[in-house]
Amino acid sequence: MTKRRALITGITGQDGSYLAEFLLSQDYEVIGVVRRTSTINFARIQHIQDDITLVSGDLLDQGSLIAILSEYKPQEVYNLAAQSFVPASWKQPVFTGEVTALGVTRVLEAVRTVDPTIRFYQASSSEMFGKVREVPQTETTPFYPRSPYGIAKVYGHWITINYRESYNLFACSGILFNHESPRRGLEFVTRKVTHYVAKIKLGMETQLPLGNLDSKRDWGYAGDYVRAMWLMLQQDKPDDYVVGTGETHAVRELCEVAFSYVGLNWEDYVTQDPRFMRPAEVDLLVSNPNKARHVLGWEPEVSFKQLIEMMVESDLEQLKKEHNL
Which listed residue (125, 126, 173, 287) is catalytic? 125
Does the annotation count 205 as an active-site position? no
Q: Which residue lies nearer to ligand GDR by CB, 164 or 184?
A: 184
Distance CA 252, CA 269 (A): 12
Buried b (16+ CB within 10 A) or exposed e, 164-196: beeeebbbbbbbbbbbbbbbbeeeebbbbbbbb
Polymer length in residues for the chain: 325
Burial class (CB in 10 A: 0-12, 13-18, 19+), 133: exposed
Any residues with CB less than 8 A from the CB of 133 and at least 6 apart, and which? 141, 142, 144
Task: Determine if 64 is a binding residue for ligand NDP (CB under 6 A).
Answer: no
Does the annotation count 127 as an active-site position? yes
In whole angstroms, the minimum distance from the beta carbon of 210 to ligand GDR comes to 4
Chain positions contacting ligand GDR, by CB under 6 A: 84, 86, 125-127, 177-178, 187-189, 192, 210-212, 215, 217, 251, 276, 278, 281-282
Any residues with CB less than 8 A from the CB of 298 and at least 6 apart, and which? 227, 228, 231, 243, 289, 292
Residue from 60, 161, 213, 319 touching ligand NDP (CB under 6 A): that is 60
187 interface partner picked from ligand NDP, ligand GDR, none, CB below 5 to 8 A per type: ligand GDR
- What number of H helices and E strands is found in the chain? 11, 13
Which listed residue (21, 29, 76, 127) is catalytic? 127
Give the binding-site size for ligand NDP (rule: CB under 6 A). 26
Which of the residues 129 through 148 are near ligand NDP (CB under 6 A)? none
185 interface partner picked from ligand GDR, ligand NDP, none, CB below 5 to 8 A per type: ligand NDP
Stretch that binds ligand NDP, among 20-28, 70-78, 174-182, 264-272 (CB under 6 A): 174-182
Three-state SS sequence of 102-119: HHHHHHHHHHHHHCCCCE
Q: Which of 3, 52, 62, 61 is nearest to 31 (CA)?
A: 52
10 interface partner picked from ligand NDP, ligand GDR, none, CB below 5 to 8 A per type: ligand NDP
Active site residues: 125, 127, 149
State the residues that interact with ligand NDP by CB under 6 A.
9-10, 12-16, 33, 35, 37, 41, 58-60, 80-84, 99, 123, 125, 176, 178-179, 185
